[in-house]
A and B are shown apart, each in its own frame.
Chain A
Amino acid sequence: METIAYRRKAADRAAKTMFAVSALLVVLPLFLIFFDLLWKGARELKWTLLTDLPHPVGEPGGGIANGILGTLTIAGLAMAGGIPVAVMCGIYLAEYGRGKFASVVRFGVDTLAGVPSIIMGIFGYLLWVIPMKRFSAWAGAAALAMIFIPVVVRTTEEMLRTVPQSVREAALALGIERWKTTLFITVRTATAGIVTGILLAMARIVGETAPLLFTALGNQFWQSGLDQPIAAVPLQVFNYAISPYDDWHDKAWAGAVVLIGMVLLISIGARYFTRVKK
């Protein structure tokens, strides 16, 4: 009997240790990645990284300013197009969405949310690059909007559903028209949550690379128009990383630091909005 009890306790301890070790192994890569980013990106982290155009291979210095501007431009376009569509769709699903049509729309949104981002790149290519016969900021934005929209539709719907029914009823009881109730009371109440959703979706599309490979394409210079190829930080990180040159590898690490900085900044902004809500 003694041995059985001992064996059971030993198994318990072994299992607990294994669970703790697996948790450690899960968070370990995060520390390694951040450490390597700072360690290897430090050499190139200067102001000129944020203000200068890329230099040719072998010429020291140079930055990724055009990529930063390009990323903000493409993400901005995607959001300008995506926010109204996604928020209105979310309002429909939360406030009116019953019956067959609504479930079909929900199914469509879920499907879009699961589509790999590279396929959104094909979408931008087929929709914009082929007809216009050139790579452009527009095509990149179209691809990113396809990633952005389903995320925002879902959070908008969820956030509107958390608004208590009594708020709507109170407004309607005061004789406020229903559309005004929805827009100025229900949506207003959920604004912080919706903005958080929008920011998190933005953080995601800012870091997207695959859909831009054959839509925005990339550019070594300042952008010359929205119907032209445009630079983006993730594309620069990719191109520098797979290049055979050491100084470009350094640039890739530095670009990755900038990219993760942008993503974290937006995510922290999203957290700030969630705080305000409480």
Chain B
Amino acid sequence: MVRGASDNPKDLIFEKTTAFFAFGVLFLAVLLLALLVRESLPAIKKFGASFLLTKTWDPVAEDFGALTFIYGTIVSSFIALLIAVPLAVGSAIFINEFAPDWLKTPVAFLAELLAAIPSVIYGLWGIFVLVPVLRDFLMTPAAEYLGWIPFFTGPVYGPSMLAAGVLLSIMIIPFILSVSREVLATVPRLQKEAVLSLGGTHWEMIRIVIGQHCVPGIFGATILGLGRALGETMAVTMVIGNRPDILLSVFQPGYSMAAVIANEFTEATGEIYLAALVEIGLVLFLLTFVVNLAAKWILKTMVSRASRGI
């Protein structure tokens, strides 16, 4: 951070050494991408774009398409966002605006602890606690009374797209919550006070000021949560049901990209089979890459706009 070149050769050697390690990290990132591309080439050559658009997954006939897994990944992540975003934003508003001081730190700390729990423990809890509860108290009655809606059709097994979505939502809430809190904190105090001084209620203040200020930021936080949800493996693998089929009902089992890699990688004997799984990994890599990039871009634009007072 101190500028200006040094003419001491030892300084130069030290700087170059650190630069070498920095290059090493960059090299690892490139190596990862290169390995993924190289190993998935046989599948890319054989199936081309149809890999992304077909449902077939037949290891015996060596005919592979990833659509089922892409569908499962996107739908389960979408369910997770649907549940997580209102809860995370609501509790961010609660912590930042309404909670008494003695409650702020504990609630924020507990939410952070949720992020520290290993995903295999979420999966374990999902299998033995969440799935039975959802099955008996939510999915079974819903399938009975709302079964005419295509999304809620039975029969109810338990492991399902919905179970994966609910479990994922618990896992991504801490991330959306902490970013939302940061975004809420960028609202100038004066503007909030202005609304209150005009006789507005707290709720109106939230709606007007925060609504105008924070929508892009909260959208960014949502996309960030999506990036997490897309790649989550263990918890999803353990509760999604692992059935390679596209079914409209969220009570039915599904499959995700990360889950099929986790389940089948050690069994992938043929060259094409392995290549197809690595290509799913490559697609997942690119998907999370684009999503994370978008989230960062939105949040950065939002912060720079806030700092310019727009």
Residues on A lying within 8 angstroms of B by beta carbon are 8-9, 11-12, 14-16, 18-23, 25-27, 29-30, 32-33, 36-37, 40, 84-86, 88-89, 91-97, 101-102, 104-105, 108-112, 114-123, 125-127, 146, 149-150, 153, 160-161, 165, 168-169, 172, 177-179, 182-183, 203-204, 206-210, 213-214, 217, 234, 237-238, 241-242, 249, 252-253, 256, 259-260, 263-264, 267
Instruction: Say whether B15 contacts A114, CB under 8 Å.
Output: no
Instruction: Say whether A118 contacts B262, CB under 8 Å.
Output: yes
Say yes or no: A209-B87 contact (C-beta < 8 A), given A108-B29, A116-B258, A182-B14. no
Say yes or no: A237-B11 contact (C-beta < 8 A), given A9-B201, A95-B1, A105-B25. no
Q: Does B78 contact A (CB under 8 A)?
A: no
Q: Does B186 contact A (CB under 8 A)?
A: no
Instruction: Say whether A88 contacts B17, CB under 8 Å.
Output: yes
Instruction: Say whether A153 contacts B10, CB under 8 Å.
Output: no
Instruction: Say whether B120 contacts A114, CB under 8 Å.
Output: no
Instruction: Say whether A19 contacts B90, CB under 8 Å.
Output: yes
A194 to chain B, nearest CB (A): 14
In whole angstroms, what is the CA distance A110 to B99 when docked?
34
B179 to chain A, nearest CB (A): 14
In whole angstroms, what is the CA distance A249 to B125 when docked?
11
In whole angstroms, what is the CA distance A220 to B111 when docked?
36
Residue interface mask B254-274, A partner, CB < 8 A = 1: 000010011001100000000
Say yes or no: A108-B25 contact (C-beta < 8 A), given A123-B32, A161-B1. yes
Of the stretches B52-60, B64-72, B136-144, B283-291, the one at the interface is B283-291
Residue interface mask B100-120, A partner, CB < 8 A = 1: 000000010011011011111
In whole angstroms, what is the CA distance A30 to B170 when docked?
9
Instruction: Say whether A26 contacts B87, CB under 8 Å.
Output: yes
In whole angstroms, what is the CA distance A194 to B257 when docked?
35
Instruction: Say whether A267 contacts B116, CB under 8 Å.
Output: yes
Instruction: Say whether A22 contacts B110, CB under 8 Å.
Output: no
Chain A residues whose C-beta falls within 8 Å of the C-beta of B32 in the assembled complex: 112, 115, 119-120, 123, 146
- Interchain CB contact (< 8 A) of B129 among A11, A36, A112, A117: A36
Instruction: Say whether B91 contacts A26, CB under 8 Å.
Output: yes
In whole angstroms, what is the CA distance A9 to B35 when docked?
60
Chain A residues whose C-beta falls within 8 Å of the C-beta of B113 in the assembled complex: 30
Instruction: Say whether B231 contacts A118, CB under 8 Å.
Output: yes
Chain A residues whose C-beta falls within 8 Å of the C-beta of B110 in the assembled complex: 27, 30
In whole angstroms, what is the CA distance A241 to B107 when docked?
30
